[in-house]
Structure 1
Amino acid sequence: MITPEYCRLFASYNAWFNERLFSLSAALPDEKRRHGASCSLHDTLQHLLWGDAHWVKQLVLFDGPEPSHLYPTQQLTFEQLRYQRKSLDNALLAWAAKVDMAFLDADASYLGSDGIKRVLTKSLWIVQMFNHQTHYRGQAATLLRQHGIDIGVTDIYWAPGAIRRETIPA
């Protein structure tokens, strides 16, 4: 379904996009980051961190150590959130650098919040993790735009290392 190269590309894109979101979000005063009719930019960034930490624990580390320092149990400050985001992105980059097809092709079970145990290939769960990231980064980007901040181009091919070669027309 997917390859180790796919994992490396998305881990890199994830880190690049998250750094952009946090750099641009830092320009807002804390009260603006925390203000929102239904969900604030701060809450969205925190949910993205929590969701990614959850997926990393369930889908990437599997039987590895519990990443308890990644699970926010309270409202984090923006600085704490940014630090933990960077730590998690670094963990994903390190994982992606060494993932192989045997890992991706293996089955993995996951107990959902609905109490149902699901068994799928690890590759499909990894796609879900990256899809979750894309969804919530899109929400965060929209919230930044609502604050008048242009986040620029976010297409994956603009991420560092994504383009293999570029030809400039004559």
Structure 2
Amino acid sequence: MAKMTFDDYGHVMARYNRWQNDVLFKLCDQIGDEERRRDRGMFFKSIHATLNHLVHIDIRILGIMKTGEAPVYDAHGTVADDFDTLRQARRDLDAEIEAFVTSDDHDWQDGFREFTGVDGITRNLPRPLFLIQFFNHQTHHRSQITSELHKMGLDYGITDVPLTPDLPL
């Protein structure tokens, strides 16, 4: 690879995202349902609620990237109450993300989306910016969960993007 393009960025980050989510869900499976649902004082209170938030918002952002539209925003939306169902939703979504970023259709990168942020300001933003937000948002909330897992004595392991297994470069 002579240089890395925006498309390459999407490919790498989708693979990284899937890898990190697999690690996260394996660790969260080890702590059991009671610990996942315990109010830990996190922004979304529990690990389970934070995992739900990630899937919910990822569905929303993927919709923006695919169509320019998104489902109604609900910061506390629940995708799945059951952990196994939530894990499968995460796996399916990660596969959908990878398929989207590796597709030959790049027309979405030319689009804009009017977006009102949590600050109440409406902006007209290029849709590729949502790809960056997509992965940034995931990293932000995964770090909240990994911090809680660390407090419980679980080592999350490597998080370095260049060490992602099977990088598509």
TM over 0.5: yes
C-alpha offsets along residues 64-110 of structure 1, whole Å, 9 cap, x if unaligned? 897xxxx9546611111101111111110100111565432432222
- Give the 3 Å change call, closer, same or farther, for CA 52–121 of structure 1 in structure 2: same
- Give the 3 Å change call, closer, same or farther, for CA 131–99 of structure 1 in structure 2: farther
State how far apart, in whole Å, the 2-side matches of 1:110 and 1:153 are. 34
C-alpha offsets along residues 15-50 of structure 1, whole Å, 9 cap, x if unaligned? 110011001111112101111332221111111111
Is the 8 Å Cα contact of residues 12 and 168 (structure 2) preserved in structure 1? no
Corresponding letter in the other structure for 1:35: R
How does the TM-score come out when normalised to structure 1? 0.80
Residue 94 of structure 1 is matched in structure 2 by 99
Residue 113 of structure 2 is matched in structure 1 by 108
Residue 33 of structure 2 is matched in structure 1 by 30
Residue 24 of structure 2 is matched in structure 1 by 21
1:55 aligned to which of 52, 61, 75 = 61
Unaligned runs of 5+ in 2: none
- Identity, in percent, stands at 34
Residue 134 of structure 2 is matched in structure 1 by 129
1:40 aligned to which of 46, 57, 65 = 46
State how far apart, in whole Å, the 1-side matches of 2:79 and 2:112 are. 33
Is the 8 Å Cα contact of residues 36 and 46 (structure 2) preserved in structure 1? yes
Residue 12 of structure 1 is matched in structure 2 by 15
Unaligned runs of 5+ in 1: 165-170
How does the TM-score come out when normalised to structure 2? 0.81
SS across alignment from 2:114? strand
In the TM superposition, what are the counterparts of 1:118-157 in structure 2 within 5 Å?
A: 118-157=123-162
Residue 77 of structure 1 is matched in structure 2 by 82
Is the 8 Å Cα contact of residues 49 and 85 (structure 1) preserved in structure 2? yes
Is the 8 Å Cα contact of residues 104 and 122 (structure 1) preserved in structure 2? yes
User: Between Structure 1 and Structure 2, how many residues are aligned?
Assistant: 158
Residue 168 of structure 1 is matched in structure 2 by none
Corresponding letter in the other structure for 1:28: I
State how far apart, in whole Å, the 2-side matches of 1:140 and 1:163 are. 27
Q: After TM superposition, where is structure 1 displaced by more than 6 Å over at least 4 residues in a row? A: none
Structure with greater contact order relative to length (CA < 8 Å, sep ≥ 6): 1
